[in-house]
Structure 1
């Protein structure tokens, strides 16, 4: 006669609930931001439930907390993933499979790498895509589509945070290999190309009427030229923006001069 499968042990139940609490605390990681340790207080706050479940010895628990009170900074969207990875490493430390002295080196490298990736893909691509598309839809008279878009992005972000936390907690640093295969850097570049198209759409919507195609083309060309100078470092962003705004102010007068000359 086959034995019935035994339910999960209290230890496993405690660990699951502790991981869930750590994940929920990731939403408050920025509340303790400070100029000295950056996000270190938020990181320790998120790690506390998981660490207390992994290290039952008070001495080892305090030692584990000290490993995360130093300077820490990364993109907030990656915080659940990093917390999951660190909890996986702490389980390996508790089992004697990972030396604690190595954690500080790999922790900083991983956090800074994901921070740069988050700034490029999320802040520099997806957030701008959402903002530009929402503005264009609203200026086009749409109301339901922008709201639906915002809800989908919000839900998608929560799914992303939960998925990366679960994968980080399950696979540890091995999950970074899967992230590498996602090719997020190139996807961020592709989204920026789409953003350029959305920006052209926005200009077409807000350009003064009557619409003269050659004026719009001249303005687009000037902005692309300034963007090129900024990217190559020949001109700062502030000076480029000031020059572009000054050009907008001077252009109507220059146009009147040209029209007056042609009418002679």
Structure 2
């Protein structure tokens, strides 16, 4: 059987190859599939760096196979993971890291960062961005909303670039530096800010004229439903559905109460 030959790639310096790997991180989700999740995209992002690291075709093929298995993580952490893996591949090529250990360490790191990404980014910062933008637009501050969006987008790209550089430079040791950033607690603080933004949004969209007790009643109901969701008593979808039904029929309920007590 004739061994399949790997396709040639344009010769790059190692630094330029790493830059190409970083840019490919933006397209990791394009190869999403139900079997390996983001594994095709990860291989695509790793390919330029692996070609620059491994000169032996057999070692290159073995390196590519290491990334054919299941991979799934938060997309904002992909540059960091690719940088760390490129650093590890450099150590493997130099004989300083056993390839068999990579799979277990990679999976642990991937799932840990994925959980942090879901909490900090999806569950905190992106919601803050969306709520702040909506509130600014409803308040008539269109320019401020645009500036906020531009700053958030730029900050995100800087974060991706810095974590990629840190990963390629320090490898798994970069995780210790990430630990000092205390991202989980920062995500918790952002969620408190989101609660304040939610109240601001309510004051903007609540039908007018409104009384303070109506706003307090709605806030209390929202907190109760949030508690039910947190304890697992209600699913998120059911809680939102019930809450929307209550808001929809609230005017009718209020009219019945006013007529019953001659208010």
TM over 0.5: yes
- TM-score, normalization: structure 1? 0.93
Matched, 1:32 2:31: yes
Deviations 1:94-139 (A, max 9, x none): 1111000000000111011101110100111000000000000000
Matched, 1:184 2:183: yes
Partner of 2:147: 148
Distance, in Å, in 2 between the alignment partners of 1:223 and 1:74 is 31
Distance, in Å, in 1 between the alignment partners of 2:70 and 2:165 is 25
1:210 counterpart SS class? coil
Partner of 1:110: 109
Distance, in Å, in 2 between the alignment partners of 1:87 and 1:47 is 7
2:13 counterpart SS class? helix
**Cα shift at 1:214:** 1.0
Partner of 1:175: 174
**Cα shift at 1:211:** 1.6
Distance, in Å, in 1 between the alignment partners of 2:243 and 2:72 is 35
| Ranges in structure 2 where 5+ consecutive residues have no aligned partner | 1-11
Partner of 2:82: 83
**Cα shift at 1:237:** 1.5
Distance, in Å, in 2 between the alignment partners of 1:199 and 1:135 is 10
Q: How many residue pairs end up in the alignment?
A: 252
1:65 counterpart SS class? helix
Partner of 2:258: 259
Q: CA-atom RMSD, angstroms?
A: 1.1
Partner of 2:59: 60
Matched, 1:136 2:130: no
Distance, in Å, in 1 between the alignment partners of 2:227 and 2:122 is 21
| Ranges in structure 1 where 5+ consecutive residues have no aligned partner | 1-12
Moved over 6 A (4+): none
**Cα shift at 1:247:** 1.4
Partner of 1:198: 197
Distance, in Å, in 1 between the alignment partners of 2:80 and 2:237 is 35
Deviations 1:40-99 (A, max 9, x none): 001000111111111011111001000011000101011110000000001110111100
Deviations 1:164-207 (A, max 9, x none): 00010000000000111111001101100100000000000001
Moved more, 233-242 or 93-102: 233-242
Matched, 1:227 2:226: yes
2:72 counterpart SS class? coil
Distance, in Å, in 2 between the alignment partners of 1:121 and 1:183 is 10
Deviations 1:5-43 (A, max 9, x none): xxxxxxxx7111111111111111111011100010010
Deviations 1:148-173 (A, max 9, x none): 01111111111111110001000000
Distance, in Å, in 2 between the alignment partners of 1:254 and 1:21 is 61
Distance, in Å, in 1 between the alignment partners of 2:143 and 2:63 is 49
1:36 counterpart SS class? coil
**Cα shift at 1:234:** 1.0
1:85 counterpart SS class? helix
2:35 counterpart SS class? coil
